[in-house]
Amino acid sequence: MAPGHVAYGMRASFGTSHVGPEHVIAWERGTHVPDAAEFTALAGALWCQPSELMGHPRTLLEHRIARGVSAEDVARATGLTLDAYLAMEESGQWAGDKRQSVHLGEVLSLPPRDFIAITRLEDELARLLTEAVSTRWQAHIRDIAKLVSMERRDLKGPLSAMHQEYQGLMAATLSRAGGTTASGEDGRRFIENIVDQFWTRLPGSSRA
């Protein structure tokens, strides 16, 4: 399809009357970026899903477009006014409460990793994971499962493995340091990257 064909398809079927071949050419060259309505129309004109035209969605807006959900539907599902939701989308900062966050995850079909990132719960997840590997992971599995909306049985293997690895680093540090606390570089790196380590141990949660 030539740029003119794409632009015509967008105008004829999706109401983007302002789009001409020059718009399509600019998008192809990367000198301009289509807005949300143009992007959705572009996907329709190319007979594909919006998600097929983008990499892994990261922002609230990108996730909504990738799922083909309207802002009105997200606002309705989360119990927000449309203006309040659009303000969050524009700022890129989700500010809903826990109940609204759950509904957001449902309406956008967010995988656990994306749900935690969008709802800004990574610090809370890091805290729980740190406590789990530092003490008894079994005592924290319920809170972690609830936070990431997963079954506890799916977290037993990853949490047990992370606990064993961290405790091994602690033991090695104690042995090398002659009885000091586990403050070695390996232990610090483990804790600093604990959220990423958690995701990479979950089947299907890693990003391309």
Residue 161 pLDDT = 95
Q: Give me the mean pLDDT over the 14-36 stretch.
A: 86
Inform me whether the pLDDT recorded for 49 exceeds 50: yes
| pLDDT tens per residue, range 55-97 | 788 889 889 988 888 899 999 999 999 999 999 998 989 999 9
For residues 174-200, one letter each, b for 16 or more C-beta atoms within 10 angstroms of the residue's C-beta and e for the rest, the string is eeeeeeeebebeebeebbeebbebbbe
| pLDDT tens per residue, range 147-206 | 988 899 999 999 999 999 999 988 876 665 554 444 578 888 999 999 999 999 987 654
Inform me whether the pLDDT recorded for 208 exceeds 50: no
Q: How confident is the model at residue 22 (pLDDT cuts 50, 70, 90)?
A: very high
Residue 205 pLDDT = 56
Share of the chain above pLDDT 70, in %: 92
Q: Which of 96, 105, 165, 97 has the alpha carbon at shortest distance from 129?
A: 165
Identify the three-state secondary structure at position 149. Answer: coil
| pLDDT tens per residue, range 114-160 | 999 999 899 999 999 999 999 999 999 999 999 988 899 999 999 99
Which one has a higher pLDDT value, 14 or 160? 160
Cα–Cα distance for residue pair 71/82, rounded to 1 Å = 7
Q: How many CB atoms lie within 10 A of CB 163?
A: 19
Token pair, residue 90, equals: 């524009």
